[in-house]
Chain A
């Protein structure tokens, strides 16, 4: 299944191509069927149903909260359990009548009411223990619904609730203990996203993983005595390995190769920027830790194997292979170098390498005709130019000159980038 916007665009284009005689009428349904865009779009009714469900859930919560004092304990409990049963009963009834989209909305309502019930039972019995435990219970209920039914709205809810759970759990431990349990939880949506071939869930899984990494970076550093540079280099190598897997699977039917590649490169860019900004907090101790070496060996091994395989499959050019290997080596070398020479001598080389990395991502995106990646890299390049200017010249020039030159640099950069973009677009048009 392709994104709805793509399907809609393809329908419009096909109608135009058929009118011009470029595509035979008989091919229309075959093409649309191939990309899963045949038949009327159910997006709007589904969205409306789900929005309605959200309102119903909020209404139920507010109603019980507002009438808390007037209801006896037993009445409240019967109301909560009864409303859950009614929502799922409604879902069964809708499913029996073939209203699958509305049935899914009713299941989502059931999941929402399950969460409401957890909160209100906790209120009824004055339970204050473990807010995160309540979220885990809610998320587990949503996961069960997602797997058993199966239900994509429930899975989306489960991922979001899971993210809230990991945030709450990390806060409850004062950011001192890594919350690895969330990774086990996230494995279920990750597997289901693959089974269902669902891009939406895959996006949410990756973004949740990023949230988890940000929340746990400090506690991982404290718990395992990793330096900040070791933590960020492991993160960057992990995200770069995502890109390598995206590339090696790009010529296969694996549906998430492009998403993995895009997220991988963009997040690696962020990782490199964070490495640069660590300053004198980058290193601690006198030698790298054994745990980091194991992690790097595994992630580096995966990344090197994947880029080599990608080259064999012609998914990478020889220069791209060399650059990828250089990036892997650079990420691994940084914590070692910063230990031996401190962060000072590395500051300028890292800024330059980040710039080269962004330029390479632009070139790579252009070669693949990946507009999202290319545009993201262009934005990154603009930010990089601005950062270099502020960082290098900010303290040397007076205020007026600083802004004047800065303005000129930004305008010139934007003109240059626009020129590159138009050239690229024209080349693609000619090639097409």
Chain B
């Protein structure tokens, strides 16, 4: 009986890894392709060999709905970003906590890492405005009023911020990182999940991902 149980554990864990692989393969195989410009750097992870950290233009979003319209923007929130633009210059479009109801072009799903806020928009003096007994203070009312400061930038991650490359080759990519010559081909699933298909330099593929 115990042997059957160990077998069950093995099958469950192998199935979990299999599902992880299958999910990636499906995105790579069926996903919609977009190309994103990046600014890579090259740290070395002792356990995982060389990889480049990829920061995209859409990693920092400054145009998004105000908090009172779309709920608070908090670190860890899952958000959906539509991509607007052309062949290889995709930019962030609409940002929402919910996926768009209709297909309005490529969409990528990400998490908020950090919310940058403008603390000058937080003021206690005007917080009670509209309440009974409120009298306008001497200081000027700020253009926007947010509890704890208005969010100005959403720092995002989409699960495509690392690209593992053969050991020792990271340095070469690092050397050209500041020349705006590196871009990444990304496959997008219908629900916004993203997977890296390849790394390009000057628009030419340098690393191409196979399914297996």
Residues of A within 8 A of B (CB): 61-62, 65-66, 68-69, 73-74, 77, 80-81, 84-85, 88-89, 91-92, 95-96, 103, 107, 110, 114, 117-130, 137, 141, 144-145, 148-149, 172-174, 176-177
B18 within 8 A of A: yes
Given A88-B7, A148-B8: A81 touches B17 (CB 8 Å cut-off):
yes
Q: Which B residues between 1 and 60 are near A, CB-CB below 8 angstroms?
A: 2-3, 5-10, 12-14, 16-18, 20-21, 24, 28, 47-49, 51
Q: Which residues on A sit within 8 Å (CB–CB) of B64? A: none
10 contacts between A and B (CB under 8 A): A73-B210, A119-B47, A126-B160, A126-B163, A128-B157, A128-B161, A141-B12, A148-B5, A173-B75, A176-B75
Most chain A Cβ neighbours within 10 Å, of B48, B167, B209: B48
Min Cβ gap A178→B in Å is 11
Q: A174, B167: Cβ atoms under 8 Å?
A: no
**Bound complex: CA A110 to CA B8 (Å):** 12
Q: How far is the CB of B209 from chain A (nearest CB, A)?
A: 8
Which one of A119, A141, A174 lies within 8 Å of B16 (CB-CB)?
A: A141
Within 8 A of A (CB), among B109-154: 111, 113-114
Q: Which residues of A contact B12 (CB under 8 A)?
A: 141, 144
Residues of B within 8 A of A (CB): 2-3, 5-10, 12-14, 16-18, 20-21, 24, 28, 47-49, 51, 74-76, 111, 113-114, 157-164, 166-167, 195-196, 209-212
Q: Are B159 and A127 in contact (CB under 8 A)?
A: yes
With A114-B16, A141-B16 given, name 8 new contacts (CB 8 A): A68-B164, A114-B13, A126-B160, A128-B159, A129-B158, A144-B9, A172-B111, A176-B76
In the docked arrangement, what's the CA distance between A103 and B2, Å?
A: 11
Neighbouring B residues of A119 by C-beta, 8 Å: 47-48
Q: In the complex, A124 Cα to B212 Cα: how many Å?
A: 9
Q: How far is the CA of A121 from the CA of B24 in the complex (A)?
A: 10
Given contacts A172-B75, A173-B74, contact A110 B3 (CB under 8 A): no
CA of A48 to CA of B206, assembled, Å:
47
- Of the candidates A107, A114, A177, the one whose C-beta lies within 8 Å of that of B6 is A107
Asked whether B6 lies within 8 Å of A149 as measured between CB atoms, the reply is yes
Name A115's closest neighbour in chain B (CB-CB): B13
Residues of B within 8 A of A148 (CB): 5-6, 8-9
CB distance from B211 to the nearest CB of A (A): 8
Interchain CB contact under 8 A, B212 and A77: yes
Closest 6 CB pairs of A and B: A129-B159, A88-B10, A173-B76, A69-B166, A174-B75, A125-B24
A95 touches B6 (CB 8 A): yes
* Residues B47 and A145 in contact, CB atoms below 8 Å apart: no
Residue of B nearest to A169 (CB): B76
With a cutoff of 8 Å between Cβ atoms, the chain B residues found around residue A149 in the complex are 2, 5-6, 9
Q: Which residues of B contact A73 (CB under 8 A)?
A: 210-212
Q: Would A130 and B17 be within 8 Å (CB), given that A68-B49, A95-B6, A173-B74 are in contact?
A: no
| Complex contact B48–A123 (CB within 8 A) | yes
**Chain A residues closer than 8 Å to B18, beta-carbon distance:** 81
Shortest Cβ gap from A411 to chain B (Å): 48
CB pair A91–B17 under 8 Å, yes or no, is no
